[in-house]
């Protein structure tokens, strides 16, 4: 304890803060990445005039309260005030639209990644660039407001993401980490910058509008992991800590998005590695050895925090329907006077799935609470269906719902593995889907055809990930890559549980997926009539 107290007093620490969709979290770590203290603040987005948004005043309230919660944790644990840190990093949910005028005033309410109002822009830009532009990307939002003729467009002088905005206010620097930048506009992985050809194409496309700005003038400057990104100003310190205890001058790393910090937190930045986050929604990211051969609307191309190309498969639905069925079984048990705890309930039901037929015995389900772009549905209906001769039992039922939780994801991953021949050496799993030991991993390994590992220590999530990126900037050795730094200094010696893909499971999942693809017509009909 005295050693940790000295480390904090001498500023031999890295502070990471991440603004997630439901929580702002702060974590303080030492040089080995060991968490010393943490704090958080809960918040929610708001639907205002049809726009999913967060008010900027709520951003600063949440940051200050999250930091105060961290400082209080330091005081309680170590009996000292938190006055400084060795380095600081800011992370936030990616994408969206934050546009400012020449005075730094916000022109329209923050439009988050959750908004899907950019369909026309996406169609035109994807065709123009020959590069998949998802609806949530910043460039899609910018072009959509141009197409829609919104009156604020001529006054735009800067656009950025949430992490870029916070970093700008804390340091005065209009910069962005390359991972977060890759969710604004396509990146050239060779130059580690926005794709100049596509920037030029966009400027040609909008030239007739004669705006008093060019795209190249209003985007943030792109930085990669390890580069210096300014330092905390006196004004920035006051925003984080209105009590005045936190001192300015702390070196800051490039602000990053939640995808990049997730890669850092799971040690998934090396080529041929990936990570999958599976909970209410699910997404997988695979670090590529090369670019894809063509455009796939199911695959988003982003980057690691050090600029390597990453293929992302993002699906809206994962465990919500599975959780609903588990809740029904719980209700049934309670009616018989039995009330198991949640871990026992989930663990028992999940393990039943491993005893089921490899192809789920002819059962079929769709977990679509909402639409799923990968399978072409704008809306969803949770659905369970079977033929009269299907093997209906609890084991197959549970296996079906675990399989279908990854059905849309596997559709996207199959493009990478089967069509693009992408090599995946290992996947790191995290999220509620993997909580029951081995079960979720076996299903995921069957889906992707690669070993799936779950770390015994999940760290502190994205806030921990950005703290590691800040630590890398400050303490890396000369020419030391991010991959080497994480593997040798942060994750060395950490034990994980690895599950290899079982050929029989893989064959069974493939049979299930044929039924899944054929049955999409049933799901579409359900959307139409229910």
Give the integer Cα–Cα distance in Å for 137 and 140. 5
> Could you tell me if 427 and 276 are in contact, meaning their C-beta atoms sit under 8 angstroms apart?
yes
CATH number given to 95-160+185-218: 3.30.420.40
For 451, residues 6+ apart whose C-beta sits below 8 A from its C-beta are 425, 426, 427, 445, 498, 499, 500, 501
Q: What is the DSSP string of 444-470?
A: HHHHHTS-EEEES--TTHHHHHHHHHH
> Could you tell me if 78 and 1 are in contact, meaning their C-beta atoms sit under 8 angstroms apart?
yes
- Give the 3-state secondary structure of residue 333: helix
- pLDDT at residue 280 in the model: 84
- Residue 300, CA atoms < 13 Å, CB-side half-sphere: 27
pTM above 0.85, yes or no: yes
b/e code 501-526 from CB counts within 10 Å (16+ = b): beeebeebbbebbebbeebbeebbeb
Give the integer Cα–Cα distance in Å for 431 and 429. 7
In order along its 530 residues, the chain shows pLDDT tens digits of 789 999 999 999 999 999 998 899 999 999 999 999 999 999 999 999 999 999 999 999 999 999 999 999 999 999 999 999 999 999 999 999 999 999 999 999 999 988 889 999 999 999 999 999 999 999 999 999 999 999 999 999 999 999 999 999 999 999 999 999 999 999 998 999 999 999 999 999 999 999 999 999 999 999 999 999 999 999 999 999 999 999 999 999 999 999 999 999 999 999 999 999 888 889 899 999 988 999 999 999 999 999 999 999 999 899 999 999 999 999 999 999 999 999 999 999 999 999 999 999 999 999 999 889 899 998 899 999 999 999 999 999 999 999 999 999 999 999 999 999 999 999 999 888 998 989 999 999 999 999 999 986 554 588 999 999 999 999 999 999 999 999 999 998 776 889 999 999 999 999 999 999 999 999 999 999 99
Give the integer Cα–Cα distance in Å for 203 and 318. 39
- pLDDT at residue 373 in the model: 86
Give the integer Cα–Cα distance in Å for 350 and 352. 5
DSSP state of 157: -
- pLDDT at residue 378 in the model: 85
Q: Beta strands of 259-331 (E only): which ranges?
A: 273-278, 282-287, 300-303, 309-315
> Could you tell me if 312 and 284 are in contact, meaning their C-beta atoms sit under 8 angstroms apart?
yes
Give the integer Cα–Cα distance in Å for 86 and 231. 11
* Pairs from 246-250 (Cβ < 8 Å, separation ≥ 24): 246/67, 246/71, 246/82, 246/83, 246/84, 247/83, 247/84, 249/84, 250/11, 250/15, 250/84, 250/85, 250/86, 250/87, 250/88
Domain range list for the chain = 95-160+185-218, 320-405+504-529
């Amino acid at each position: 304890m005295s050693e940790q107290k000295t480390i904090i007093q001498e500023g031999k620490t890295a502070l990471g803060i991440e603004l997630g969709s439901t929580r702002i979290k702060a974590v303080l770590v030492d040089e080995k990445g060991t968490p010393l203290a943490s704090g958080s603040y809960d918040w929610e987005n708001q639907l205002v005039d049809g726009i999913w948004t967060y008010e900027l005043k709520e951003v600063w309230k949440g940051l200050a309260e999250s930091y105060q919660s961290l400082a209080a944790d330091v005081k309680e644990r170590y009996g000292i005030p938190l006055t400084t840190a060795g380095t600081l990093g800011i992370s936030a949910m990616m994408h969206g639209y934050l546009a400012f005028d020449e005075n730094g005033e916000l022109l329209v309410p923050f439009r988050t990644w959750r908004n899907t109002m950019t369909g026309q822009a996406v169609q035109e830009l994807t065709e123009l660039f020959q590069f998949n532009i998802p609806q949530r990307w910043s460039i899609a939002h910018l072009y959509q407001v141009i197409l829609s003729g919104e009156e604020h467009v001529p006054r735009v002088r800067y656009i950025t993401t949430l992490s870029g905005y916070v970093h700008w206010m804390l340091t005065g620097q209009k910069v962005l980490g390359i991972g977060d930048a890759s969710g604004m506009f396509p990146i050239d992985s060779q130059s580690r910058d926005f794709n100049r050809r596509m920037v030029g194409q966009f400027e040609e496309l909008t030239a007739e509008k004669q705006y008093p700005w060019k795209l190249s003038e209003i985007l943030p400057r792109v930085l990669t992991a390890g580069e210096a990104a300014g330092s905390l100003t006196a004004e920035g310190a006051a925003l984080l800590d209105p009590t005045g205890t936190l001192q300015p001058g702390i070196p800051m790393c490039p602000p990053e998005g939640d995808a990049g910090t997730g890669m850092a937190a799971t040690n998934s930045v090396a080529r041929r590695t990936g990570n999958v986050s599976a909970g209410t929604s699910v997404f997988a990211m695979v670090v590529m050895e090369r670019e894809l051969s063509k455009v796939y609307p199911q695959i988003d191309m982003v980057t690691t925090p050090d600029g390597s190309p990453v293929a992302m498969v993002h699906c809206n639905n994962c465990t919500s329907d599975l959780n609903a069925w588990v809740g029904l079984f719980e209700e049934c048990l309670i009616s018989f006077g039995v009330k198991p705890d949640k871990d026992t309930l989930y663990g028992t039901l999940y393990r039943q799935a491993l005893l089921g037929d490899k192809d789920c015995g002819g059962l079929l389900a769709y977990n679509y609470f909402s639409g799923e772009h990968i399978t072409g549905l704008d809306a969803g209906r949770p659905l369970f269906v079977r033929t009269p001769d299907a093997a209906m039992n609890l084991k197959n039922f549970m296996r079906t719902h675990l399989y279908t939780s990854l059905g849309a994801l596997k559709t996207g991953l199959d493009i990478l593995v089967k069509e693009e021949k992408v090599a995946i050496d290992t996947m790191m799993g995290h999220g509620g889907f993997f909580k029951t030991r081995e079960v979720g991993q076996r299903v995921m390994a069957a889906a992707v055809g690669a070993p799936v590992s779950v770390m015994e220590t999940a760290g502190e999530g994205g806030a921990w990930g950005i703290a590691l990126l800040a630590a890398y900037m400050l303490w890396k050795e000369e020419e030391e890559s991010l991959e080497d730094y994480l593997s040798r200094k942060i994750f060395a010696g950490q034990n994980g549980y690895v599950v290899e893909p079982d050929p029989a499971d893989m064959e069974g999942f493939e049979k299930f997926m044929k039924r899944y693809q054929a049955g999409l017509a049933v799901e579409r009909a359900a959307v139409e009539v229910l």
